[in-house]
């Protein structure tokens, strides 16, 4: 038999729980408490003899919303959650009534648990679910818009090619620029919806990158000063020799969005602080303003697409685009904000040690080839014909997969281009049919959706290349070069 001193008591169990537990009489006076309660609530002192409402909630009288009466009436355990400003934490409180054999109330047990981490995890999960739901809606709309943009850009190019009136040409150039801006917005929507990825990374020195961003964006706050007579001061604090791996254009775009948001948040002027720093192997790119700040409700929604506090002057895509960029870089976004004080947003990346040096890419001429293309949209086929014929290629286009396949069986081609969604036959099925006759035939898939073949083995079995609409002739030419190498 073990010695008496080695036996565990039930008090040992209670004292090893992180939950704070107190036994209280019917007059709200604490009879006993476990070690966690004495250390946290009692700040190291014994709680026995003190009133529970005083030590737990800092109230001189029983709490107005005390769960004890409801617990007594129902005879069941009652939960209540609250935020304690003294600790800056969320707590869950449970009240258990104790009655004797005659159902006479004798006292109660109070257990208190810190649930701040649980709430944070639930909030993050809810945010992820909300963003996923919005992402599906965004992707569907973006798919349709991409097809429209591809048609529009093709028509503008066609009209511009034959236009001679300088005024008309100028108007077409403006329209073309607006269309490209719309296409960029749609691409960002699709990146957000799909999670996207960074296809090309380079090592970036953050101090130099931030200095470039300051130079490119300074006209924004200078313009505000001149037009509205307010003063926006800037402070730059860039720690040198901090490198991150990523897409230069995407990171610049993300920081630019943060800067413009910071300027907009200071309608009466203020200080904009831009900084880079390193902590524990992480690089922080921070933009801080002394503007209006955000409520918790706004802070929880700032990364939602189309959410904006700027009224008709804001699209609500800026910060959702930043969110997508940072997620594609496997980074984090930290947001600190206080109403009337300002906001600080930090983009957090893994630090890399050295900057890589890339050799210049030599320009390669694209030889003319024979191309068969099928798309159920007549405007797209016309655009493909014009684009590719101008580059010297021989092109046959069809809006019917049946007719396109019949043509393929009669003549020889070097590349097949197919749409993704068509009424007679989908792009994958059409590609499978082509490969059954010519397994070595390179096939390019065009789609209004972002498609990454390395993540789509079902498509990659028959599709060699994929491009999202709207596309440029340079995109097609690059695929042709890859197709020629594939054939070699």
The pLDDT assigned to 487 comes to: 60
Same domain as 319, residue 206: yes
The rounded distance, in Å, linking the Cα atoms of 188 and 183 is 9
Of 49-58, 189-198, 214-223, 317-326, give the range with the top mean pLDDT.
49-58
Q: What is the C-alpha to C-alpha distance for residues 138 and 190, in angstroms, rounded to an integer?
A: 7
Write the pLDDT tens digit of every residue in 141-168.
665 666 677 767 767 777 877 788 888 8
For the domain that residue 60 is a member of, what is the CATH number?
Answer: 3.30.450.20
Q: Last residue of a domain, which of 66, 98, 114?
A: 114
User: What SS3 class is residue 376?
Assistant: coil
Total domains present in the chain: 4
How far does Cα 296 stand from its chain's mean position? 19
Verdict on whether the full-model pTM lies above 0.75: no
pLDDT of residue 325: 82
Return the H-helix or E-strand segment holding 236: strand 232-238
Do 270 and 305 belong together in one domain? Answer: yes
Question: Confidence class of residue 361 from pLDDT cuts 50, 70 and 90?
Answer: very low
- Choosing from 58, 93, 114, the residue where a domain stops is 114
**Is residue 286 a contact partner of residue 275, using CB atoms and an 8 Å limit?**
yes
Asked whether residue 303 is assigned to any structural domain, the reply reads yes
Quick check: is 355 in a domain?
A: no
| 163/230 same-domain check | no
Contact between 427 and 421 (Cβ < 8 Å): yes
Which tens digits make up the pLDDT trace of 416-442?
Answer: 999 888 888 988 899 999 999 999 999
Cα separation of 97 and 254, whole Å? 55
pLDDT of 311 reads 44
> DSSP letters of 62-102?
--TT-SHHHHHHHTS-EEEEEEETTTTEEEEEEEEEEE-TT
User: In sequence order, what are the residues at sequence separation of 6 or more whose Cβ sits closer than 8 angstroms to the Cβ of residue 239?
Assistant: 206, 207, 275, 276, 277, 278
Q: Which of 114, 142, 160 corresponds to the end of one domain?
A: 114
Measured in residues, the chain has a length of 488
Burial (0-12, 13-18, 19+ Cβ within 10 Å), 167: exposed
Residue, of 456 and 207, whose pLDDT is higher:
207
pLDDT digits (tens, 9 = 90+) for 259-268: 988 888 888 8
Whether residue 107 sits in one domain with residue 134: no
- pLDDT-based confidence at residue 312 (cuts at 50, 70, 90): very low
Per the structure, the complete domain to which residue 301 belongs is given by: 202-350
């Amino acid at each position: 038999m073990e010695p008496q001193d080695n036996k565990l008591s039930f008090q040992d169990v209670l004292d090893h729980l992180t939950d704070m537990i107190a036994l209280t009489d019917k007059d709200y006076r604490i009879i006993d408490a476990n070690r966690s309660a004495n250390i946290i609530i009692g700040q190291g002192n014994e709680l026995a003899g003190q009133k529970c409402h005083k030590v737990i909630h800092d109230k001189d009288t029983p709490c107005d919303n005390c769960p004890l009466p409801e617990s007594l009436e129902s005879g069941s355990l009652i939960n209540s959650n609250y935020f304690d400003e003294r600790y800056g934490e969320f707590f869950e409180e449970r009240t258990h009534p104790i009655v004797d054999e005659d159902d006479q109330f004798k006292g109660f047990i109070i257990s208190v648990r810190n649930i701040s981490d649980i709430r944070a995890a639930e909030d993050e999960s809810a945010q992820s679910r909300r963003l996923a739901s919005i992402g599906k809606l965004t992707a569907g709309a973006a798919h349709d818009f991409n097809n429209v943009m591809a048609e529009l850009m093709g028509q503008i190019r066609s009209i511009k090619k034959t236009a001679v009136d300088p005024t008309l040409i100028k108007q077409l150039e403006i329209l073309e620029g607006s269309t490209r801006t719309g296409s960029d917005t749609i691409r960002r929507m699709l990146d957000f919806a799909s999670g996207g990825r960074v296809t090309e990374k380079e090592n970036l020195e953050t101090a130099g990158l931030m200095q470039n961003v300051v130079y490119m964006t300074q006209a924004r706050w200078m313009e505000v000063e001149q037009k509205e007579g307010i003063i926006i001061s800037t402070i730059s604090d860039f720690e040198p020799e901090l490198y991150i791996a990523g897409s230069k254009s995407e990171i610049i775009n993300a920081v630019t969005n943060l800067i413009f948001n910071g300027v907009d948040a200071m309608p009466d002027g203020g200080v904009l602080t831009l900084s880079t720093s390193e902590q524990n192997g992480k690089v922080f790119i921070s933009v801080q303003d002394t503007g209006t700040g955000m409520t918790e409700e706004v802070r929880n929604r700032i990364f939602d697409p189309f959410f904006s506090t700027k009224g008709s002057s804001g699209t609500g895509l800026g910060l959702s685009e930043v969110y997508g960029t940072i997620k594609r870089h496997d980074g984090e976004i930290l947001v600190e904000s206080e109403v009337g004080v300002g906001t600080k947003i930090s983009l957090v990346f893994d630090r890399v040690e050295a900057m890589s040096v890339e050799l210049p890419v030599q320009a390669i001429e694209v030889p003319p080839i024979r191309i068969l293309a099928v798309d159920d949209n007549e405007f797209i086929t016309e655009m493909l014909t014009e684009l590719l014929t101008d580059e010297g290629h021989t092109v046959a286009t069809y809006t019917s997969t049946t007719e396109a396949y019949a043509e393929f069986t009669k003549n020889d081609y070097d590349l097949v281009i197919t749409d993704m969604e068509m009424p007679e036959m989908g792009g994958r099925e059409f590609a499978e049919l082509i490969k059954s006759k010519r397994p070595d035939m390179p096939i390019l898939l065009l789609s209004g959706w972002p498609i990454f073949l390395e993540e789509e083995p079902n498509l990659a079995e028959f599709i060699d290349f994929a491009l999202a609409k709207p596309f440029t002739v340079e995109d097609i030419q690059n695929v042709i070069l890859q197709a020629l190498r594939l054939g070699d």
